[in-house]
Structure 1
Amino acid sequence: MQLLSKDAKSSLKQSREGWAMPLALLALAVGAFGIGTTEFVIMGLLPQIAADYGVTIPTAGLLVTGYALGVVIGAPLLTVLGTRVSRKTMLMGLMGLFVLGNLLSAFAPSFGMMLVGRVVASLAHGSFFGIGSVVAAGLVAPQKKAGAIALMFTGLTVANIVGVPLGTFIGQAVGWRTTFAIVAALGVIGLLGIAKLVPALPRPEGARLRGELTAFRNPQVLLAMAMTVLGFGGVFAAITYIAPMMTEVAGYADGAVTWLLVLFGIGMFLGNLLGGRYADRALMPMLYVTLGGLAVVLALFTVTAHNQALAAVTVFLVGALGFATVPPLQKRVLDHAHGAPTLASAVNIGAFNLGNALAAWLGGLVIAAGHGYTSPNWVGAVLAAAALGLAFWSAALERRTPAPAAAQAETGGAPAPTLVHH
């Protein structure tokens, strides 16, 4: 077993002593902010992009679908390809790919090239959050891992509060291409921050495809990923169709939708922080509360959507409860993936996007069937309830066959994932 290099030990010591670690996580959060902005800002700019390229809105919607599928494909693919290099190097490469994709989008002469740019940018998404989660968890003591993961994901949630509405405003005011050029610049800042601030921790020994695939033999890893698909799918079943629901049912003006999405983003931000904080204390109880609460709130949304004030409160709660599940689910995958967390972590990020695509499709089906714009909320409630059922099943399975490594991680006995020998 090779130990950490002298420089890595020094960086890690500084991180644990409190001054370098927050800055390293800030660099990851900046990258997450850029990724979150480019993922969601497209929804507010579709009319302008469609008009510029002379395509229909549904055709322009392929830019959203293509991005989601790119995340699902890119997460495992690039993570596997990156097992031969250090995680810091891989994070820098992923940010470079993200910058390239957004530059292609900003200067694309045709819709086809714009779609290529979106897919290129999306390929970095899953691997960045997957590898970044492992790195973030490795910068802190075991009992603080979920909080560190949540701090990185704060960049994604802040993007929905600041980046998306600001990017939409800029795109509508001076052109959508400017928005993507600015996002590319954010990617450059994130890349430089990672290069300067993230410790050069070595990759684990034997970080090869066969070793990384062993994580998927653990039923707890698969159950956590299934909870991710269903739980976060519940959120997007409702939010995907928030615009017609709020304008046609709640009676809001079109311009109010942007601020309702900001409210959703604030809920995501607070839920993410609370999820990280309490998941470090009681992970499974946190999942019970958030998934159960999400199922109830989504079911009630079919009623509250008819009142403007109640609808706004519900939008906030959906964001808060939905994103409060992210740190505990990501941490649970890390805990049960043992010595091969990187691929499992990245695939779990892809699972979030798979949930998004599945829920959007199911929500569209019930609307098309004539059940109205509030009907996707029922779909979301059922998905969240199914995720809650899986959480209880996972806990029962764990009680029957306790995992020593997971138990060690919960008691602080296991080393953080990124500190494994190399």
Structure 2
Amino acid sequence: MDIRLLWLAVGTFAIGVESFAISSLLPQIADSTGVTLTQAGYLVIAFALANAFGSPVLAALTGTADRRRILTITALIFAAGAVWAGFSQGYADLMAARILMAFSAGLYTATAQATGVAISSVDHRARAISVIVGGTTMAVAFGAPLGALVAGLVSWRGSYFMVAGFGVIAAASIWIMLPSGLRGSSLTLRQRIAAVGLPGVPGALLTTLLNLAGAFTVIIYLAVVTTGSIGLPRELVPAVLLAFGVGAAFGNAAGGQLADRIGARATVVGAIVLNGLMLVAISLAAHLPAGLVAPVFFALIILWGATGWAFPPAQSSYLLSLSPGNAPLVLSLNASALYLGIAGGSLIAGLVLQYGTPSDLGWVGALFPALSLLGIGLSAALRQPEPSMARLG
């Protein structure tokens, strides 16, 4: 394996820590900034939307620029945004910092994947992408609990300073390890968006959006579910995140292996069904006898992490099978669909908390994985061989 891929993954790790640790920070942020918990959740929605829509635009604008320079600058901007967030004075200030972080995160992730493909041989490109995406998995497994632990010790601001440190490490490593002169294809925004029309791709993107919306209906308020629905003390939130992360690490590895053995589509369907079942079970766990609630909840969280994170690698494999010659384009669009799903799930969760209770989040979220199966059916129905639109080298 090319060691340079690991340094690219450090950046996706930093981004993932911020993106997933915030679920444990929202109650503190709401108290600190004087807003409601639902309004604090709008920080997640803004980040997700800025990432989803900003990534293809910025990728089009910087497509032919030196990739080492783009990756280094975006990692430093992300780190600067994290410092800004740590020192922010009020809700609007923090919102602006997170939007800046979202734009830089989206461009970094898209460029990192394209760079991984460029520096790898043709038969190792999928593996290169999996290593870079693996940075996000490690962030879920270990970074998010660490962020929650730091927040518990020194407040949520300390978590942002930690994220900034990871961003600086990524920038320095990339500048040292990557060669200069790597440049991408000159693709316009219209050409990038046109990949949405490739046969089978629209249904697959809809599947990603809906399945992630269901998962993030709970993930984004997992701390609230832990304390408000399950009744565990706030000090156990990092342990809950760690349990979820350990499951996610196993699920990510298993999802890729299962996709190779039984097929990507079958793995995606299985992961979606299990995601929905786990969400329902999390809602039901609050109604168990008092002595069973905590152990059953932790077991469910581990299983949910595993089943939920079996989806991303299998879905990436499925998208690659739909259009092998357009891998960077369809994976970039999938990332946008993922963040649109996060935004949708966060919005839905906020409405549930406004009109219901934390224990309602699971069963409401489970509706969306069920709907996402329609996307898989649509993708399969429309799938046809299609020539490559663009190749990224």
Query: 1:209-232, CA deviations, whole angstroms, 9 ceiling, x for partnerless residues?
Result: 343233122142222211110112
Paired with 1:311 and 1:332, the residues of 2 have a C-alpha distance of 31
Aligned position for 2:219: 239
Contact 2:226 2:237 in 1 (8 A): yes
Contact 1:238 1:363 in 2 (8 A): yes
Give the 3 Å change call, closer, same or farther, for CA 333–125 of structure 1 in structure 2: farther
Aligned position for 1:5: none
Please list every run of 5 or more consecutive structure 1 residues that lacks an aligned counterpart in the other structure: 1-17, 407-415
Contact 2:328 2:392 in 1 (8 A): no
Question: Offset at 1:151?
Answer: 2.2
> Which residue of 364, 369, 387 maps to 1:379?
364
Aligned position for 1:7: none
Give the 3 Å change call, closer, same or farther, for CA 220–124 of structure 1 in structure 2: farther
Query: 1:37-81, CA deviations, whole angstroms, 9 ceiling, x for partnerless residues?
Result: 122333433454455545555444443332222222322221121
Query: 1:375-404, CA deviations, whole angstroms, 9 ceiling, x for partnerless residues?
Result: 332233221122233223323432xx2346
Give the 3 Å change call, closer, same or farther, for CA 59–242 of structure 1 in structure 2: closer
> Which residue of 15, 25, 33 maps to 1:45?
25
Q: Which moved more, 1:38-47 or 1:148-157?
A: 38-47
User: Which aligned pairs between 1:1-400 and structure 2 lie closer than 5 A?
Assistant: 18=1, 21=2, 23-140=3-120, 144-198=124-178, 202-281=182-261, 282-305=263-286, 306=288, 307-334=293-320, 336=322, 341-370=327-356, 372-398=357-383
Question: Offset at 1:362?
Answer: 2.6
> Which residue of 375, 385, 391 maps to 1:402?
385
Paired with 1:264 and 1:355, the residues of 2 have a C-alpha distance of 19
Query: 1:90-133, CA deviations, whole angstroms, 9 ceiling, x for partnerless residues?
Result: 32232122122112223334443322111101112223223323
Q: Which moved more, 1:114-123 or 1:179-188?
A: 179-188
Please list every run of 5 or more consecutive structure 2 residues that lacks an aligned counterpart in the other structure: none
Aligned position for 1:3: none
Contact 1:34 1:187 in 2 (8 A): yes
Paired with 2:277 and 2:30, the residues of 1 have a C-alpha distance of 37
Contact 1:268 1:324 in 2 (8 A): yes
Give the 3 Å change call, closer, same or farther, for CA 199–340 of structure 1 in structure 2: farther
The code of the aligned residue for 1:269 comes to: A
Contact 1:145 1:331 in 2 (8 A): no
Paired with 1:56 and 1:245, the residues of 2 have a C-alpha distance of 16
The code of the aligned residue for 2:270 comes to: V
Give the 3 Å change call, closer, same or farther, for CA 363–303 of structure 1 in structure 2: same
Query: 1:2-59, CA deviations, whole angstroms, 9 ceiling, x for partnerless residues?
Result: xxxxxxxxxxxxxxxx4xx1x1221122111111112233343345445554555544
Query: What's the secondary structure of 1:383's corresponding residue?
Result: helix
Question: Offset at 1:263?
Answer: 0.8
Report the number of matched residues: 387
Paired with 2:91 and 2:277, the residues of 1 have a C-alpha distance of 41
Aligned position for 1:410: none
Paired with 1:52 and 1:202, the residues of 2 have a C-alpha distance of 44
Contact 1:272 1:326 in 2 (8 A): yes
Question: Offset at 1:200?
Answer: 5.2
Query: What's the secondary structure of 2:187's corresponding residue?
Result: coil
Give the 3 Å change call, closer, same or farther, for CA 255–111 of structure 1 in structure 2: same
The code of the aligned residue for 1:378 comes to: W
Q: Which moved more, 1:66-75 or 1:55-64?
A: 55-64
Paired with 1:264 and 1:110, the residues of 2 have a C-alpha distance of 31
Contact 1:72 1:126 in 2 (8 A): yes
Contact 2:29 2:156 in 1 (8 A): yes
The code of the aligned residue for 1:283 comes to: A
Contact 2:52 2:339 in 1 (8 A): yes
Paired with 1:335 and 1:200, the residues of 2 have a C-alpha distance of 31
Contact 1:283 1:328 in 2 (8 A): yes
Query: 1:223-274, CA deviations, whole angstroms, 9 ceiling, x for partnerless residues?
Result: 2211110112221123234334333443423322321121111122221222
Question: Offset at 1:343?
Answer: 4.8
Contact 2:324 2:388 in 1 (8 A): yes
Q: Kindly name which structure, 1 or 2, has the bigger radius of gyration based on alpha carbons.
A: 1
Could you state the TM-score of these two structures normalised by the residue count of structure 2?
0.86
Query: What's the secondary structure of 1:83's corresponding residue?
Result: coil
Paired with 1:226 and 1:284, the residues of 2 have a C-alpha distance of 14
Could you state the TM-score of these two structures normalised by the residue count of structure 1?
0.80
Paired with 1:293 and 1:43, the residues of 2 have a C-alpha distance of 22
Question: Offset at 1:190?
Answer: 0.7
